[in-house]
Structure 1
Amino acid sequence: MRIVVVGGTGLIGSKLVTGLGEQGHEVVAASPTTGVDTLTGEGLGDALAGAAVVIDVSDSPSPEDVAVLEFFETSTRNLLAAEAAAGVAHHVALSVVGTGRLPERSYFRAKSTQEKLVENSSIPYSIVHATQFFEFTRRIAESAAEDGKIRMAPAFFQPIAGDEVAQAVGRIAVRPPLNERIEVAGPERFRMDRFFRHALAGWNDHREVLTDPGARYFGAELDERTLLPGEGALLGRIRYGDWPGRIAVRRVLTRPPLTFLHQKRVVHARY
């Protein structure tokens, strides 16, 4: 099967390209660095020729409000039009758990716009909502830094390893379109303030983590369950405490075998 991965040179995209290629699929990594620009449409026609599935894991190169909306709206319109012309049978989009619950943040509004375009197109689709990646936890911590301290709300979140996100998206992509959303999350549920106290220790970062119910998540106010998946989410098996990237001096050199289960039990971590 010919599969095009838009954003195929990024964190999740590169894992998808490798994993799907190992399964025997013909995989095209589409990104500006490979001559495919969804924002301008450059290279889209050639990249999508003969493709059965397109997986969109691309992200905006700019965090600015106007730029984020323009990226997801324009690139998704261009991509869907090119897919229709190429006869693509399945469009898979990676999005974020809680997108519809955080309208005050421009990034989530833009992702909601992207999802609506996908849902209203003529192409069968699957939308995968993932929780925060383990690989992005440092970025989350830095976004909460203020006066040499980290301010975190005691809200729950359920982060997941990037490898398991890629595996879930890959599995969904080679199956019949869902024509709906599906959620994927890690196996453990943490309160963010407690999690980041332990995470910073693992990074040899000695900044104090303060519990602040009013602390914002990239500018958005959280309640306890804003970032949590719902019933029936697919759960990964890699616990944060077993993930090599949690410790500053260690690096993962090989990809472990991964298996997803339908949600049966979420572990409530002690920290």
Structure 2
Amino acid sequence: MELLGGKLGEKIPEVITLTGGRGRKETRNVLARIAATPACGQLTLVATGRYIGEGFDEPRLDTLFLAMPISWRGTLQQYAGRLHRLFENKKEVQIYDYVDIHVKTLEKMYQKRLAGYAAIGYRAKAESIAEDPADIIFDNTNFLPVYYNDMLNATREAVIISPFVTRRRALQMLPNLEAALAKRVSVVVVTRPTNTYKDKDRPALEKTLASLQDTGVRLLFKANIHQKFAVIDQKIVWYGSINLLSYGSAQESIMRLESPNIAQELLKDLGKP
């Protein structure tokens, strides 16, 4: 924490580190320094969760960077709540999160946070889209109309990564895939190979995959994939915890954003140019 605070202090003014291991007197002095910072001045805190939990109140704060992963929704809401204090000229609050799609545990933790963000009304904000109302966090009950619209408006390519496939969900999605294919859009589905399923589930799966192939969908098999997303025209990204070709009734979440950079990173991880 001290290292991070020191590095930030080389670039920006008024960086204050608030961590454990201090005596009560030193902690009081740090809190007094925070309170004494002019309201019109810039203030950056590098703090552990213990010190920005319940009871911490600094209404000027409008941006949170999560530098360590968490998954419990209550903790996320508590941290975000530190930003939700009224302050003059504060019109927007932002949380910068991160996801490591290469590490399954970290990705799952992010997906839990994604559901937490949706629960408290946050929206995804793409890097180059300032106020696009379609960049938003959805759940499994309301994402389909917007997702279908993106598929219908695809002009070049749609890549769908769904580790699992069920016949019911695949057949539901099929008309939209066929509509895209009819416009000469390349549709690629990446999923786990059939030999990773239980013997009793393979016949139905093989029949479902054959139906997809018969329509012109290109299937790619990759063992042990855990990512769940779709990339449309190498810029529109749907990413979250929803298996797009097998999701059920369990509460899941997915976000939509337009970002060629994120699209490229996701596709690169699959070994796709």
TM above 0.5, yes or no, is no
Q: Which has the larger radius of gyration?
A: 2
